[in-house]
Amino acid sequence: MARTVLITGASRGIGAACAAAFAADGWNVAINYFSGEEKALALSSSLKQNGANALAVRADVSDPAQVRDMAAQVLLHFGRIDALINNAGIAQQKLFCDLTDADWDRMFDVNVKGVFYCSRAVLPHMIHNKQGKIVNISSVWGIAGASCEVHYSASKAAVIGLTKALAKELGPSGIQVNCVAPGVISTDMNAKLDNDAISRIREETPLGVLGSAEDIANAVLFLSSEKADFITGQVLSPNGGFVI
């Protein structure tokens, strides 16, 4: 029976690249989206046309009730969830002194609570089966910190801490929990960066290029595979040497 992956925030960027990579590897793919319905449905249709089993399912990962319903839909449709990719996230550039309570809360609601709610929703199934993979998407800024993105950096650092702790708790149940912390990637989230900023980042990156969504998808697919069965609680940061 084909394995099933649930990828949050999969309508575009890294999430969409992950969906394509898993589908190409023979997985059933559940594509979570919140606001990008048109893109999610188009991606699902494209994967199906290429012979994959795909399902687009809407849920706000910051809403525990919607997350529970999403997990139930995926289990009903595919009968199993073998891997969860907690990719859904938001970003915002703002001076620390200008941050509002709402800015801070929304960042943590999506980037941290989303990981909590989604993991909690799939874990009874994984624990029952004594196997499963959870890959959480953090950021290089969760490791190094970024000026004018304190709340974003803090939320992504929290994801790293959550990953390491949950890996220890779930190890006896045969479940691996790991984290991918991308460097600067050419996605919509970074499209707002001007040419000067992009040039500076390239100069500060030993490999001299920005990463692609596919670079991250390859790392996520590896950590979700049987090749990574002895890897848990780790942070893999594909960043071109930007942070070592």
Annotated active-site positions, please? 152
| Spatial strand order in the sheet of 28-33 | 54-58, 28-33, 4-7, 83-86, 132-137, 175-180, 235-236
> Under a CB-based contact definition with an 8 Å cutoff, are residues 217 and 14 in contact?
yes
Rounded-to-integer distance, Cα 92 and Cα 72, Å: 31
Q: Could you write out the DSSP letters of every residue in 84-100?
A: EEE---------GGG--
Cα separation, 224 vs 109, whole angstroms: 25
How is residue 110 written in tokens?
């999506």
Tell me how far apart the alpha carbons of residues 190 and 205 are, in angstroms, rounded to a whole number.
16
Specify the DSSP class assigned to residue 192. Answer: T
